[in-house]
Amino acid sequence: MRRDKKAKPMQAAAAECPPMRILAIESSCDESAVAVLDAQQGLLSHTLFSQIELHRVYGGVVPELASRDHVRRLLPLLRQALHEADTDAAQLSGVAYTAGPGLVGALLVGAAVAQSYAFAQGLPTVAVHHLEGHLLAPLLEDDPPPFPHLALLVSGGHTMLIRVNGLGDYQLLGETRDDAAGEAFDKTAKLLGLPYPGGPELARLAVHGRSGVFDFPRPMLDRPGLEFSFSGLKTAVALAARAQPLDEVRRADIARGVQDAIVETLLRKTARAIEHTGLAHVVVSGGVGANLALREGLAALLRARGGRIYHPRIAFCTDNAAMIAVAGLLRLQRGEGSHDLTIRARAQWPLAELSANNVPAAPVPWSFSSFKEQA
Ligand code: KG4
Ligand code: ZN
């Protein structure tokens, strides 16, 4: 890992905020990750271990195996993150951890490690909402989005259009009624015999396929509103994949058809949300935000409307601890650190609860970008 020493304009603004440094832990699903973020210097380190190989033989995440692997990985990752950040506990202001939503066993491991470490070091903790992490991940980049903006949050478990007014003020405009976009990628990829996780694999295969050979359904487009539904795609793809021979050309054409259907649906609903809100600055975040066809489609859509797209770098689209550190640090700065020893882990945690219980939206006037490349 290497730190970028080049001064950046946003860092000047960051230097004005109070000195704080946070350690953050993410363990909501199949990635164990730890990061150290400094309010003035930006991201000092982030470490991650992906359990993809562990779950691949089962074709999906096995929750019990995920929890056990977090137990194995988190402490070495924590030591490594502190070492790479050249930080000891005395320099930390608090510890953030993902408290939900996610796999409850996996969450409990990260929460227990965070609470134990914080208790031992006399530090406050912040229980972070995983989706708030995804929403704020673009603040790690050089050119962060202005507030308010529109967010398209597309992950393995969620597909949401959100009006983001500021920290803790998230207005849900529409979400999926059934499968999430990432789930649709993963399930259809499985039907094509692609390994887990299917999203990136299907996207790779789609590059070789032809648009228009398979015209899969784009549900909910003919209805008003900003809701999504992706569950029908599986049936259509299962039928297409049944016809023999399922050779490479047909598989690639099906993959292309699936990607086109998902991306077009996301683009059309986003366009509708832009019209509805008048916001043309759009953040795309969550694992599916790594999809290049989606990024390119959104960029074109926004160019045509005089707006622009903001996204975290690919590594911070999928699950990571840097985004948890951003949310944790902003909340710590707002006085939300706690010495309560409760280990918080919620499998279900509606994003709306964050806005409902909160003090008014806080402005977020800087970005944390100062760490650009990893060796
Ligand atoms: O945000 P994330 O890492 O975990 C959740 O919070 O769910 O998202 C994972 C999802 C998976 O469904 C994965 O297949 C999908 O993001 N994904 C992609 C791509 N990279 C990851 N889907 C389509 N194209 C990609 N390039
Ligand atoms: Zn996620």
144 domain residue, yes or no: no
249 domain residue, yes or no: yes
Let me know whether 67 and 105 are in one domain: yes
**Which atom of ligand 1 is nearest the CA belonging to 180?**
12
Q: How far apart are CA 69 and CA 49, in angstroms?
A: 10
142 domain residue, yes or no: no
2 domain residue, yes or no: no
Let me know whether 97 and 180 are in one domain: no
CA distances from residue 373 to 233, 360, 366 in whole angstroms, order as listed? 38, 35, 20
Do 117 and 23 meet the contact criterion of CB atoms below 8 Å apart? Answer: yes
Let me know whether 120 and 156 are in one domain: no
Let me know whether 126 and 207 are in one domain: no
Residue 138 CB–ligand 1 contact under 6 Å = no
> pTM of this prediction?
0.90
190 domain residue, yes or no: yes
**Among residues 45, 168, 162, 146, which one has the least CA distance to residue 365?**
146
Q: Could you tell me the distance, in angstroms and rounded to a whole number, from the CA of residue 98 to the centre of ligand 2?
A: 10
Ion ligand 2 contact residues with beta carbon within 5 A: 155, 319
Residue type at 247?
Answer: D
Q: What is the pLDDT of residues 280-326, one digit of tens each?
A: 999 999 999 999 999 999 999 999 999 999 999 999 999 999 999 99
Domain that holds residue 266: 149-311
Is residue 4 very low, low, confident or very high in pLDDT (cuts 50, 70, 90)? very low
**Which atom of ligand 1 is nearest the CA belonging to 292?**
26
Q: What is the pLDDT of residues 108-120, one digit of tens each?
A: 999 999 999 999 9
Residue 197 CB–ligand 1 contact under 6 Å = yes
Ligand nearest to the CA of 198: 1
Q: How far apart are CA 369 and CA 289, in angstroms?
A: 19
Residue closest via CA to ligand 1's atom 7 equals 156
Let me know whether 158 and 88 are in one domain: no
**Which atom of ligand 1 is nearest the CA belonging to 31?**
3
Q: How far apart are CA 106 and CA 207, in angstroms?
A: 34
Q: What is the pLDDT of residues 216-249, one digit of tens each?
A: 999 888 888 999 999 999 999 999 999 878 899 9
Residue 73 has pLDDT above 70, yes or no: yes
List the CATH number of the domain containing 327: 3.30.420.40
375 domain residue, yes or no: no
